[in-house]
Chain A
Amino acid sequence: MSEGLSFHFDVDGDSFTSAGQASVQVKKDLRRLGVDPEIIRRVSIAMYEGEINMVIHAHGGHAEVRVTEQAVEIILEDRGPGIADIEQAMQAGFSTAPDAIRSLGFGAGMGLPNMKRYTDHMDIQSTVGVGTRITMRVDLPQ
C-alpha cells in the first residue's frame, strides 16, 4: 500500500438498475487492503452518493479512487449539465430529481450533505453546460 494504489471506474449513465457497482467494488478492494471498517463505510457512502448523482443528474461519468498510506481520495468527473448554484445544491433537502427517480427513494436532497459529512475534505468544481468534478478525501488513522 506504500506506493499508493488507484482504481478507475466508468459509471454507466443509462443503466440505473446497476448503479452503485463502482462503490461496491471499491468497498471490496478496500476490505482486501485491510482498511479499517468504519473508514470503508465512510468511503462507501460518500462514493455511492456521488456515483448515484452522476447517474441521476449527469448521464454517468468516471470515478477514480486513490489509496495511499495517508488517505483514500475519490475523484468523480462527469460531462453532465453542471451545477449552477453549488451552495444551494449543498443544502440538505434541495433536489431537482424528477418524480420517477423520487419514487425509487432518491431525491431527498441529502446526497451532497452526506458526502460532506462522511469525508474529511470535499471540493466541487462545476461549470454549467460543461460538467462537474468532485474530489473527496477520507484520512486514514496515522
Chain B
Amino acid sequence: MTVQQLMEQGGFTAAALPEGDREVSGVYIGDLLSWVMGRAGAGEAWITIMSNRNIVAVAMLADTACILLAEGVQPDEGVAALAEEKGVNILCSPHSAYETALRLRDAL
C-alpha cells in the first residue's frame, strides 16, 4: 500500500505529500527521536506527536515512508514546507496514536 492510499483509507490528511507513491511496509510509534532512529524500519509509517522540524531529518535519515502526526497535531510553522522540499511525507490524523495505529492495522 502506498502512502497516498493509506491516507485515503485511514481518513488522514496530508500536510506534505511529495512522495505519495512510496510503499508502506509497517508501523513504528514513538516520540523520542533516538528511539525512532534506532528502531523504526525503512519504509515504515512513523506515528508521533512531535511536530518540530527535527522530525524531517529523522524521517529522511531513518528512511521512513511517512510521518503520521496523531492526536490532531499539526506540523510547526515551516515544517510542512521543509518536508515538501526534502521529499518527506507528513500525514495528520485527528485520532489518538492508538486509534491511528488500529486504522493502519486495518489498512495494511
Q: Could you list which residues of chain A lie within 8 angstroms of chain B, going by C-beta atoms?
A: 17, 19-21, 23-24, 27, 37-38, 41, 44-45, 48-49, 104-111, 113-114, 117-118
Decide if B37 touches A45 in the complex (CB within 8 Å).
yes
Question: CA of A106 to CA of B63 in the docked complex: distance in angstroms?
Answer: 18
Tell which of B4-12, B18-26, B49-57, B100-108 binds the partner. B49-57
**Number of B residues, CB within 8 Å of A:** 20
Decide if B34 touches A108 in the complex (CB within 8 Å).
yes
Collect the chain B residues with CB atoms within 8 Å of residue A106's CB.
Answer: 32-34, 54
Supplied contacts A20-B61, A24-B60, A105-B32, 7 more A-B pairs, CB within 8 Å: A23-B61, A37-B63, A38-B42, A44-B63, A49-B34, A104-B52, A111-B34
Interface class of chain A by DSSP? helix
Decide if B53 touches A48 in the complex (CB within 8 Å).
no
Question: CA of A110 to CA of B31 in the docked complex: distance in angstroms?
Answer: 13
Decide if B38 touches A113 in the complex (CB within 8 Å).
yes
Decide if B50 touches A45 in the complex (CB within 8 Å).
no
Decide if B57 touches A41 in the complex (CB within 8 Å).
no
Q: How far is the CB of A63 from chain B (nearest CB, A)?
A: 14
Question: CA of A23 to CA of B61 in the docked complex: distance in angstroms?
Answer: 8
Collect the chain A residues with CB atoms within 8 Å of residue B14's CB.
Answer: none
Decide if B61 touches A45 in the complex (CB within 8 Å).
yes
Decide if A117 touches B38 in the complex (CB within 8 Å).
yes
Question: CA of A38 to CA of B63 in the docked complex: distance in angstroms?
Answer: 10
Question: CA of A23 to CA of B58 in the docked complex: distance in angstroms?
Answer: 10
B73 within 8 A of A: no
Of all chain A residues, which has the CB nearest B33?
A105
A20-B54, A37-B42 given as contacts; is B34 within 8 A of A114 (CB)?
yes
